[in-house]
Amino acid sequence: MSGILEGKRVLITGVLLESSIAFHAAKLAQEQGAEIILTAFPRPTLTERIAKKLPKPTKVVELDVTNDEHLGRLADIVAEELGGLDGVVHSIGFAPQDALGGNFLNTPFESVATAMHVSAYSLKSLTMACLPLMQNGGSVVGLTFDAQYAWPQYDWMGPAKAALEATSRYMARDLGKQNIRCNLVSAGPLGSMAAKSIPGFGELASVWDNRSPLEWDLKDPEPAGRGIVALLSDWFPKTTGEIVHVDGGLHAIGA
């Protein structure tokens, strides 16, 4: 029996550690029949080392999503490797330290602008860089952390994720005519590289101990990876502009 991504070609960003959601998405994508290519920044060698733990060898491309030169050459590199693309996974987020950890009211605009550029605008710039390779349509899947709420310690990454969610909806609107779907997975907290950069992350994560209907495991990124792979597949052919919650159901619980 073939996998649900058999014959698909997918670009995946954000593979930093084996605990990354993106790593599990890449692993599952390969297991489900996809050919993949990875991008990395600022340390491609780190991603190359982690990529060796995937079921099949894969190329790693250096990509700073704020660098127009990197974005401009991406399509040629990917075309040489895969010929085209059927899917793109955006797993990129960054905010300077002074934009996190309870400093919301004192964060300078320069830091906010960096968070917005890397974490939200890059969904559009990455997709547009890949667009020439998606001649037969495809699926763009990004990662968010539920931006309906103000989370402890999360500070300016919250507005950045809200911008990401709005960006995905507008992309769904404008790319639908090319049969390109744009969706997000809203994952619960995980002990990933991103989490390690948030001061007081434990306070945020503890919310899941008390309110999540399904038991939530901070050490298990696979459910979120499965959500990404499902949205990359043809099993959601008419779903776009959506946010699929893979958070143990906490988003549905008021208190």
Instruction: Indicate which residues carry an active-site annotation.
Output: 154, 161
Distance CA 166, CA 161 (A): 9
Take residue 87 and report the two structure tokens written for it. Answer: 């899917």
Element holding 181 (H helix, E strand): strand 180-187
Say if residues 122 and 160 touch (Cβ distance below 8 Å).
Answer: no
Closest CA to 163 of 223, 235, 105, 114: 114
Hey, what long-range contacts does 135-138 have (CB within 8 A, 24 or more apart)?
135/84, 136/84, 136/86, 136/179, 137/86, 137/178, 137/179, 137/180, 137/181, 138/85, 138/86, 138/87, 138/88, 138/179, 138/180, 138/181
Distance CA 196, CA 5 (A): 31
Phi (first) and psi of residue 7, to 5 degrees: 85, -5
Phi (first) and psi of residue 154, to 5 degrees: -80, -30
Beta bridge partners of 9: 35
Distance CA 80, CA 9 (A): 12
Residues whose CB falls within 8 Å of the CB of residue 251, separated by 6 or more in sequence, listed in order: 146, 148, 186, 245
